[in-house]
């Protein structure tokens, strides 16, 4: 089972929180889910919050009254997905002395088997262009550095590693990543960099819109595998520290946020 749950919230008046609030919120939610954040080699959850229109200073993020913000959680296997499905936040979210009223909740559920059959096994007509929005800062680990750039091979490696770890259907390894990296190109982007506070250390990531294009020589089956992984990204996230708020990714045709919406922890 896969789930992506999204809560819509509104602050009770003007609210300012420290830039590191997302880490505290992630810890609080995982405690309520009864998931130890340090116990999993590959995290079985993906978290993003809070996303919406905000203003930032050197130390604080300010949430505007009468604005809507979104908090998102995904589960990548049965246990974490069930815990998220059963999570009841009530009518209000209390965080570091601030209060947010919960306006709505939406759940999207599917399974690895369903995604695989819809996008690959049923042999749909291949999609040759993929549009993605990186809603929260996204980066990739490169030795001891973090790379804040939308490199296709790194994106597909990130999605494939999580798929292979949790899904009952194995898609392939390094050879597949290399093949997709050579056969799918970055066609255009509109991105910017910003930093997110993680464990007292700022990490620079990119946000914005990215378009990928399938080159003509790519086998139709592998084009469908690539599209499968793009669709999986909305559950798994992209790159590093998805459990702590980074790498929230949405296929562009699924995006409901305004173009200027940003992560509230940078």
pLDDT at 253: 64
Residue linked to tokens 């999580």: 162
26-84: pLDDT as tens digits = 999 999 999 998 889 999 999 998 999 998 887 899 999 989 999 999 999 999 999 99
pLDDT at 143: 85
**Cβ–Cβ under 8 Å, residues 263 and 137:** yes
Structure tokens at 25: 């919120």
The CA distance from 215 to 213, in Å, is 6
**Cβ–Cβ under 8 Å, residues 26 and 37:** yes
**Cβ–Cβ under 8 Å, residues 17 and 98:** yes
Domain limits of the chain? 2-263
Q: For the domain with range 2-263, which CATH number is right: 2.70.70.10, 3.20.20.240, 3.30.70.1900, 1.10.357.10? A: 3.30.70.1900
pLDDT at 266: 39
- Is there a cis peptide before residue 50, judged by omega within 30 degrees of 0? yes
Structure tokens at 111: 């399974």
The CA distance from 19 to 56, in Å, is 8
pLDDT at 49: 86
Low-confidence ranges of the chain (pLDDT < 70): 253-266
């Amino acid at each position: 089972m896969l789930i992506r749950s999204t809560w819509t919230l509104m602050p009770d008046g003007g609210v300012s929180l420290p830039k590191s609030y997302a880490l505290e919120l992630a810890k609080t939610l995982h405690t309520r889910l009864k998931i130890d954040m340090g116990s999993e080699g590959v995290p079985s959850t993906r978290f993003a919050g809070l996303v919406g229109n905000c203003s930032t200073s050197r130390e604080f993020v300010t949430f505007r009254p009468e604005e809507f913000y979104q908090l998102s959680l995904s589960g990548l296997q049965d246990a974490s997905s069930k815990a998220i499905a059963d999570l009841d936040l009530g009518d209000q979210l209390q965080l570091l002395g601030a209060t947010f009223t919960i306006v709505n909740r939406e759940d999207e559920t599917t399974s690895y088997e369903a995604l695989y059959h819809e996008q690959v096994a049923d042999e749909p007509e291949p999609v040759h262009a993929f549009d993605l929005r990186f809603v929260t800062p996204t980066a990739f680990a490169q030795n001891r550095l973090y790379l804040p750039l939308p490199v296709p091979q790194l994106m597909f490696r990130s999605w494939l590693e999580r798929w292979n770890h949790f899904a009952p259907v194995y898609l392939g390894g390094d050879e597949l990543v290399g093949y997709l990296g050579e056969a799918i190109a970055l066609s255009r982007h509109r991105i910017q960099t910003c930093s997110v506070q993680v464990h007292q250390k700022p990490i620079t990531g990119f946000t914005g819109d990215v378009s990928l294009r399938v080159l003509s020589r790519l086998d139709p089956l592998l084009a469908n595998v690539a599209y499968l992984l793009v669709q999986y990204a909305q559950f798994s996230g992209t790159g590093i520290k998805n459990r702590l708020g980074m790498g929230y990714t949405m296929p562009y045709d699924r995006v409901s946020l305004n173009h200027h919406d940003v992560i509230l922890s940078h």
